[in-house]
Amino acid sequence: MTPQTLHLEYFGPYRDTTIDFTKFTSTPLFLISGKTGTGKTTIFDGMCYALFDQTSGNDRKPQAMRSDFATFADPTRVTFTFTHRDRRYEIVREPAQTLNKKRGTGVTDVAASVTLTVWDGETEIDQLTKAGKVHDYLENLLQMDGQQFAQIVLLPQGEFRRFLIASSDDKAAVLEQLFHTKIFARWAERLNDQLRRDRQANQAALAELTRVQQSLVWDPDNQATAADLLTAGKTTELTALMTEQQAATKAAEEQATTAYQAAQNRVQALTRQDTKEEQLVADRHQLATLQTMQRELAAQQPAMQVLATTIADLEWAQHVHPKWTAWQQAQQTQQRREVASQHATDQLTQAQAAYQAAQDARTAADDLPARITQQQNRQAQNARIRPIYEQIDQAQTAQRQAQQQQAQAAAAVTDAQTALQRNARDQAAQQAIIDQQATLYATNQRLTQTAQHLTEWQKQGQTLQQAQRAAADQQTRVTQLATQVTQAQAAAQTAQQTADDQYQARLRGQIAELSAQLTPGSPCPVCGSTTHPQPATPGTATVTVTAAAVRAAQATATQKQQVVNRLEAELTQLRTTVAEQTRQNDQALGTLRTTLTDLAGVTAEATVTDLLTIVAREQAQTTQALRANQQQLTAVATAQQRLATLVAAATDQQTAVTQAQAAAQAAQTTLARLTAQLATQRAQLDPDAPTFAAFSAQERQLTAELQRNQAQLTALDQRVTQTQQAAAVAQTNVKNAQAERVASQRAVQEARTALEAALADRQLTVTDDQAQLTDWFAALPTLPAKRQTLQAFQTQQERTAATLGEVTKRIGKQPAPDRERTQAALAAERQTVAQLQDQRYAYQNQWQQNQDRLAELTQQLADRQTAAQRTQELAELAGVLNGDGPNSKVGLERYVLQTYLRQILTVGNHRLQQLTNGRYQFVIDETPAASKKRSGLEIDVYDDHVGEQRSVHTLSGGESFIAALALALALGEVIQRTTGSVDVDALFIDEGFGSLDEDALMTALDSLEAVEGQHRMIGIISHVSELRTQVPNQLQVIGDGNGESHVHYQTIADL
């Protein structure tokens, strides 16, 4: 990937600036220079934001990069163009921001947006506008995320040096994110979880195995032995004992089955005998019962004969009863018709009297037709006069309406003229409001910029406040670290003194041992003399010190001295950092005071808290002013809309005035015409003619009298007709009633004759035997019951005789049985069968239960052995991954990270030797640690000048920067090589060169140009003045003094 251009619009200090990287394509090394705070790092922030929607340090949100001087009309936008494999890519990204509305007035919140365009030559081949799709496309293209990109392309301020001196855990946190090695830790966690679950499952299986063993049912003879075996955990012996018991249980079951079958046969024989005896006893009992019943039936015979006679009488009465009923009904009908005939005669008399009265009333009203004719003639005359009255009434109504319309039209003219005048006054008022718009917009922009400046100043104050707190915390850390250094120095001196004492003791022991071995005349191994006037003798308190003890003491002293060196280096670095941070904080506070000088209350002694309080006060005032200004602008917009409405309404109102005036003139003309028509119509009536209301009242009275007379005449005629018809109907009803009465008399005689003929069969008469007949007819409902009683008696007689013969034949000459003896024998045998059955079932259940438990026990033993083997293998594998194995104390993830670190150091050594002329070389600190799982990533350097390995904490500031630079370059190369990301033909190094002396600076520049410049373009971001003289090709960032910056290009060709 080769950067081409970076276009920054209202991004940081850049209003509209394009960074053209193609100007440095042919130069291996160029400088991005400028004063602190002018926006050098912002250039790379723009690249990171365009590609990954985040800043380079990821400590500022994209929205915070919007320029302080940007107004609501100025959108923040970053456009980044780069090439890769003959294709050109353009990314345009805008953060979420507040801008003016595209339509109307006011502002609106605009969401973040991004557009990625892919070009092949001059042809656009693809364009993406969805944030998610753009993210996936770039990640697939570049094969790295924002953090990896920053690690490969930009070496931020202080970051790469921090990695050099970081602890193993801190390095691991960085490396595992860059190389995505968390998967190995997750493997170990999953294995640990699985191992924990397996162990829990094994414990549960063991408990289940114990439960199954305890559930075995033992014979009393085996219970004590089984309990001992279970306590001792001898599952195999317990299983063998149960197998033997199962065989014995099966044999006992078979014996019980044989005895049960024999007892069952005896029970069946006794059951047959008992059943036979039970039947004989029942037959004897039934014989006695039947004989008793036969005697009782014989006693009922006379009563049954009387019942048979009664049934015969009732059956004859049932035959005669319909004729009796017919005679009774005929008599009732005759009585009803006699009453009806008399009623018809009475109605005829009443109808004839009503007819005569109706005729008399009609005769009395003979003058009604003449009065009706006279009234009809008067009504016709009124009908001819009425239209004249109606025309006059309509004319009067029209005249009144015309007068009302004329008055309304005049009022409408006045209202329309008044509304038009009011509209003109409103237009003037709204125009006065609109005339303030320009002033209000200017005030709005001024207040908006002030609010943005106040927000930025507040952020600067808060950042400074946090930095001061951090500096205080660091100063506390300096104090603590100084105490640790003092303690570590004392411990190192003590350890070194102990090592020296051990070494001297070891020498004294060796000397004493050698002196004891001296032979007269032999040369001394120390001075060579053949005479030994005073050989050394071992003291009584001499303690033998081994060489191993001396080495161990010296190793302890060395280790403690290394701790001192590391703490001293860290203390020195921390003091430098605190001093620099304090200086920067003081400088930032002074700058902020200067910036806020114009605000009320700002003094030369104002603290950050004071400044933040003042800024907060100004923000509240500015916010209140902006709110008032916005309300005024809203009022202007409302006035503009109101003015447009008023102008349109004025036209309509002028039209309304003209129309109202025309309508008033027309109403006046209509009123004059209608007044003349009314006078003409009134001349058609007599001068003494009544009014229209009086005429209408007379007409209504005449109509009512005519209707009453006509109704009276019609009612009289209808009465005569109706009474005449009623008399005729009554005459007909009398005739019909008399005929029906004669017919009913004849029917009564015929029914009596038929009844007397039926009674003659038994020599009975209607007159003499009516009581007897009535009793028989009343008893007819009991006839079915009586028949059933007689039939049941006869059936019982026949059945009892037949059954008595059958029972007598079955009993024959059999003697009475001894059932008690038979039942006692049967009960005893049944009890024996039940006992044998329970015994057999007990053996079967015990055998089957134990057999099931044995099978379960066998399967559990096999499963437990398999599970134990699996758990052991899993535990060994988890131990290896966790670093708890017998041969390794380094976990899998830490081992992988160590492998990556070795690759980084291998690549870094090539650069470090070039940058240090072969003096230094990276090595991994192999010193044993208390926990290898938490170590393995400590970095030392081998110093070829002194021939020994030492901590990177002992390097000077310049040496530390060079080492960190070589390590960072190697880290980026290994990341790029390992992740398969796209080749990035650019590298930016942000600060750090200020710690180098002139020779080291030249060496670093020459090495960078020689090592890196052959493969990619290198940009150094720095404000160090020496670099401006050493690096001719420069991108100069120049501050304009008002919060804005611009860039200037300087190449070697310009010099």
| Residues 986, 150 contacting (CB under 8 angstroms) | no
Crossing angle (nearest 10°) for helices 131-142 and 40-52: 110
pLDDT at 810 over 70: yes
pLDDT in tens, 578-621: 888 888 888 888 888 888 888 888 888 888 888 899 989 988 98
Look at residue 885 in the predicted model and tell me its pLDDT: 61
Please say whether the dihedral angle defined by the alpha carbons of residues 706, 711, 712 and 714, taken in this order, is positive or negative: positive
The strand pairing partners of 1038, in sequence order, are 1046
Enter the tokens of residue 16.
């509209």
Average pLDDT over residues 186-197: 82
**Total residue count of the chain as it appears in this document:** 1055
| Residues 95, 112 contacting (CB under 8 angstroms) | yes
pLDDT in tens, 464-493: 888 888 889 889 988 998 999 899 889 989
Rg (CA), the chain: 67
| DSSP codes of every residue in 32-50 | EE--TTSSHHHHHHHHHHH
Look at residue 216 in the predicted model and tell me its pLDDT: 84
Look at residue 514 in the predicted model and tell me its pLDDT: 67
Q: Give backbone dihedrals phi and psi of 73, rounded to 5 degrees, phi first.
A: -95, 0
Question: Matching CATH topology for 1-143+983-1055 and 302-364+705-781?
Answer: no
CATH class label, 1-143+983-1055: alpha beta
pLDDT in tens, 145-182: 777 777 667 766 556 667 778 788 877 877 777 777 77
CATH of 302-364+705-781 among 1.10.3470, 3.40.50, 1.10.287, 1.10.1670: 1.10.287
Q: How distant is the alpha carbon of residue 883 from its chain centre?
A: 41
The strand pairing partners of 91, in sequence order, are 80, 116
Look at residue 930 in the predicted model and tell me its pLDDT: 44
Domain edges within the chain: 1-143+983-1055, 214-288+819-867, 302-364+705-781, 470-520+543-595
Out of 301-305, 651-655, 781-785, least confident range: 651-655
How many whole angstroms separate alpha carbon 9 and alpha carbon 67? 9
Residues 6+ apart with CB under 8 A from 478: 571, 574, 575, 578
User: Comparing C-alpha atoms, which of 127, 60, 55 is closest to residue 91?
Assistant: 127
Percent of the chain with pLDDT over 90: 9
Average pLDDT over residues 510-533: 65
| Residues 885, 927 contacting (CB under 8 angstroms) | no
Whose structure tokens read 């029942």? 282
| Residues 832, 256 contacting (CB under 8 angstroms) | no
pLDDT at 707 over 50: yes
Out of 625-639, 828-842, 967-981, least confident range: 967-981
pLDDT in tens, 637-668: 888 888 888 888 888 878 887 887 787 788 77
The strand pairing partners of 7, in sequence order, are 18, 79
Q: Residue 109 — left, alpha, or beta (φ > 0 → left; ψ -120 to 50 → alpha)?
A: beta
Quickly state the pLDDT bin for 521 (edges 50, 70, 90).
Answer: low
- pLDDT: which is higher, 889 or 415: 415
Buried b (16+ CB within 10 A) or exposed e, 555-578: ebbeebbbbbbbbbbbbebbeeeb
Average pLDDT over residues 971-977: 78
Please say whether the dihedral angle defined by the alpha carbons of residues 1039, 1041, 1043 and 1044, taken in this order, is positive or negative: negative
Residues 6+ apart with CB under 8 A from 326: 751, 754, 755
Please say whether the dihedral angle defined by the alpha carbons of residues 378, 382, 385 and 389, taken in this order, is positive or negative: positive
Whose structure tokens read 């060079």? 962
| DSSP codes of every residue in 510-551 | HHHHHHHT--TTSPPTTT--S--SS-----TT-----HHHHH
User: Comparing C-alpha atoms, which of 847, 838, 1014 is closest to residue 914?
Assistant: 1014
| Residues 999, 192 contacting (CB under 8 angstroms) | no
pLDDT in tens, 30-53: 888 888 888 888 898 899 999 999
CA distances from 638 to 632, 634, 641, 644 (A): 10, 6, 5, 10
How many whole angstroms separate alpha carbon 716 and alpha carbon 363? 9
Look at residue 546 in the predicted model and tell me its pLDDT: 80
pLDDT in tens, 245-257: 889 888 988 888 8
Quickly state the pLDDT bin for 290 (edges 50, 70, 90).
Answer: confident
How many whole angstroms separate alpha carbon 1019 and alpha carbon 40? 11
**Model-level pTM?**
0.41
Across the chain, mean pLDDT equals: 82
How many whole angstroms separate alpha carbon 252 and alpha carbon 991? 99
pLDDT in tens, 978-1019: 766 556 677 778 755 666 667 667 766 776 666 555 566 788
Out of 591-605, 681-695, 761-775, least confident range: 681-695
Quickly state the pLDDT bin for 909 (edges 50, 70, 90).
Answer: very high
pLDDT in tens, 533-567: 666 665 544 567 787 787 788 888 878 887 887 88
Look at residue 358 in the predicted model and tell me its pLDDT: 84
Look at residue 931 in the predicted model and tell me its pLDDT: 46
pLDDT at 527 over 50: yes
pLDDT in tens, 433-457: 888 877 887 788 788 888 888 888 8
Average pLDDT over residues 78-82: 96
